[in-house]
Every structure is written in structure tokens, then in C-alpha cells.
Amino acid sequence: MSDWLRTCSGTTDPWELGTDVLRWGTMPPQEMLGQLGRSFDATLPDGVILLDLPVAQALQRTRDRARGSELHETGVFLSATRQRYDAVLDWLAGARPELAVRRIDCADRSVDEVTARVRGAVESIAHARCGP
């Protein structure tokens, strides 16, 4: 792990890298994308799949877990996160039309139903990338 940290950030301090990543969040999207790619030697995937769940259902599911909720799992935080994901994926779809963006509505669906939808989305992305 320390070798990876040193390669990505020049230091073995994860807090320093975390601070850098947070600062990158203030960059314009295209610039941030380039910085992430350079820093982590990564490219965009063939597709992005968002598992979308209404905030009320997400909160109920966290309350129903045996371990309970995490501190960040509040209605305000989850609403803001959901809005930000929407904005980022909308930007990606416009800026990188070759990148497949799929949203899967998970509301009132079982694990098996969501799994089937994810499988279908992955197959759709792979088919679009490889052709018929």
C-alpha cells in the first residue's frame, strides 16, 4: 500500500493524498478528470452504472440493517450526494458521449431484480463496445 501511495502522490501519508483529492473536487470537471487520470494512472471505464434509490428508501434500508446507520447516512447528506451523482453523470454523458451511462432504478426492487438489471446493463455496455 505504501508503494502505491508513493507512486500516486509522492508520499506514504494517506491523509495528504486525501486532502489533494478533496482539493481536486474544486477543479472544473474536465481538469479534475485529467488530474485523476494522471495521479492514479487510470482511464475512464467503458460504462458507468448508477444504482439509484430514493433517499427515503435508502434511509429505511440503513435503519433496517443489523449494524445500523453510519454517521453520514442522513437525509440531507444522501439527498446532496444523489444530486451530485446526477450532475456528474449528466456532465459525463454530454462531455464523453462514448461513455455508456446507465441509471438503474432500485426503488421497491429485490436484490434479484436489481442484479438482473445490472447484468442487463453490463451486457448492454459490453455489446455496444464490442459491436454485434
The per-residue pLDDT for range 24-44, each reduced to its tens digit, is 888 888 898 899 888 888 888
* Contact (CB, 8 A) for 75 and 59: yes
Residues in the chain: 132
Where the chain has pLDDT below 70, the residues are: 1, 68-69, 131-132
36 and 55 share one domain = no
Averaged pLDDT of the chain: 87
To the question of pTM greater than 0.75 for the whole model, the response is no
38 and 77 share one domain = no
> Residue 69's domain spans which residues?
45-132
58 and 23 share one domain = no
Cα separation values, 110 from 40, 53, 57, 98, Å: 35, 12, 12, 31
Q: What is the pLDDT of residue 1?
A: 64
60 and 33 share one domain = no
66 and 116 share one domain = yes
* Contact (CB, 8 A) for 126 and 112: no
Q: What is the pLDDT of residue 48?
A: 92
CA–CA gap between residue 53 and residue 78 (Å, rounded): 10
* Contact (CB, 8 A) for 99 and 47: yes
Q: What is the pLDDT of residue 131?
A: 62
CA–CA gap between residue 34 and residue 20 (Å, rounded): 14
Burial 66-101 (b: 16+ CB within 10 A, else e): eeeeeeebeeeebeeebeeeeeebeebeeeeeeebb
